[in-house]
Amino acid sequence: MAQLKATYKEILIISLPLILGNLAWTSNGVFDTIFVGNLGKVELDAIGFASIFYSVLFMAGFSFTRGTQMLIARRMGELNKHEVGNILDTTIIAMLAVAVIFFALIKAFTHEILGFMLTNEDIIQKCELFLSYRIWGLIPSFISFVFIAFYSGIGRTPILAASVGIMTFFNIVLNYGLVYGKFGLPEIGIGGSGLATSISETLAVLVLFLGTFYKGRIHEFFLFRFKKFDTFLIKQMSNIAIPLMLQSLAAVGGWLYFFARIETILGKDALAISSIFRQLILFFTIPAWSLGSTANTIISNMVGQKDFSGVKDAVRRISVVSLAFAIFSCLIIYVFPDFCIGIFTSKQDAALVPMATEILPVIFVVFILMSFTNILFNGVISLGDIYIALGIQIVVVVVYIAYFQFLFTQTFVSTFWIWTAEWVYWLSILVACLIFFKYKHLKVV
């Protein structure tokens, strides 16, 4: 599958393992919330906010390796397999350095950062406890991003599903054991959830590493030679990766500020409901994000072939598949709302379920909008217009924050109306992407 043509078969072959893998990967946060949510409302609030806080670091690392993925896919399109190994080796060194720096900063300044954004001391303390264990998974997760970029870039994704399947199994078992003190393990509460996820991520990256020996991939792609640290390649990767990192940090940072304002103005119940919505969005939009990664691979591969004529067809076909998954997700939640919401709450907080159910329509609109908008946006990125994508992201985040800041000043403000900020976010990106593709002239150069 060196050169791709964006057929529906290719889209599904690449995306389905990614979807299964990302379902399992994202389920880490879901199961963290499920097990910790049963400890009480403070723990539910803390796990929701701490997870978003950690996701800022997560997205920084993942965004850097998206640039790696696109470079590898382009080399595959050019039939230059011998350059793939150098890209992977250089990225591993760079990601190790970044992960160590992030680890040191968070260990040193967690309390100050959380205290700046939150007001409830109980929530702050629980967030600190969770992060003190969760941060140990930072380095293995950053290395796993490199392997995810490699397997996605070469279009061989089934190994990703296998690795995160193992990760999910151990995360569930260890979460149950360490949160509640089962299987002879110590009862650590919310901290046990962070430790369970860190251990399971370490196991996942071991599987991905061993997968490079399968069918001689280590030789086919010239992996792990580490002949030299390629500064030119780092510069080339950074030109792609840094704008992507800034773009993701802007998006996740906007969401982090959004949740902080909810806690400050609307209170703990609104934050708890919003934490539930966050998990629903993260879980049920996995197909859209996975298909966005598929778009990165396919379109970057086509750029490597200089086959620009098929890019718009590729974006259209991937968008159709993504929209179908979004509609299916909406139907599942619509038919089983109490189950989908109730798994994130404890028995004593059961009153949150009907409150959250009434607001579900706002989330359905988010699913539909982002399903195809995310593909269009990844199309902009994959064509190499990284700084245009960054500009779009920054402007949209400013509009997004301005919108919900305005809502917070209104007397009618409620959780429902606050979450319409997500509509504004995705509609703004959609309009910008449609303008881009209308005036972007795609041709072989």
**Residue 328 pLDDT class (50, 70, 90 cuts):** very high
Handedness of CA 295, 297, 300, 302 (dihedral sign): negative
Enumerate the domain spans of the chain: 8-439
Alpha-carbon gap, residue 419 to 404, rounded angstroms: 8
Query: Is-contact 50 134, C-beta < 8 A?
Result: yes
Lowest mean pLDDT among 210-224, 306-320, 347-361, 363-377: 347-361
pLDDT of residue 442: 59
Lowest mean pLDDT among 32-46, 176-190, 201-215: 32-46
Query: Token pair 């991003």 is at which residue?
Result: 145
Looking at per-residue confidence, does 252 or 425 come out higher?
Answer: 425
Mean pLDDT of 12-18: 77
Lowest mean pLDDT among 85-89, 259-263, 395-399: 259-263
Handedness of CA 26, 151, 304, 240 (dihedral sign): positive
Looking at per-residue confidence, does 310 or 185 come out higher?
Answer: 185
Buried b (16+ CB within 10 A) or exposed e, 13-34: bbbbbbbbbbbbbbbbbbbbbb
Lowest mean pLDDT among 164-168, 230-234, 243-247, 372-376: 230-234
Mean pLDDT of 167-189: 90
At residue 230, φ and ψ (nearest 5 deg) are -80, 95
pLDDT of residue 348: 64
Is the pTM value of this prediction over 0.75? no
pLDDT of residue 445: 37
Calculate helix-pair angle for 268-284, 286-305, nearest 10 degrees: 40
pLDDT in tens, 127-163: 888 888 888 988 998 998 889 888 887 877 778 878 8
pLDDT in tens, 45-100: 787 778 777 777 777 777 778 778 778 887 887 778 888 888 888 889 888 988 99
Query: Does residue 319 carry a pLDDT above 80?
Result: yes
| Percent of the chain's residues with pLDDT above 70 | 93
Alpha-carbon gap, residue 24 to 31, rounded angstroms: 10
Neighbours of 353 (CB within 10 A): 18
Alpha-carbon gap, residue 319 to 315, rounded angstroms: 6
Query: Does residue 444 carry a pLDDT above 50?
Result: no
Alpha-carbon gap, residue 127 to 50, rounded angstroms: 5
How high does pLDDT run on average in the chain?
83
Query: Does residue 344 carry a pLDDT above 70?
Result: no
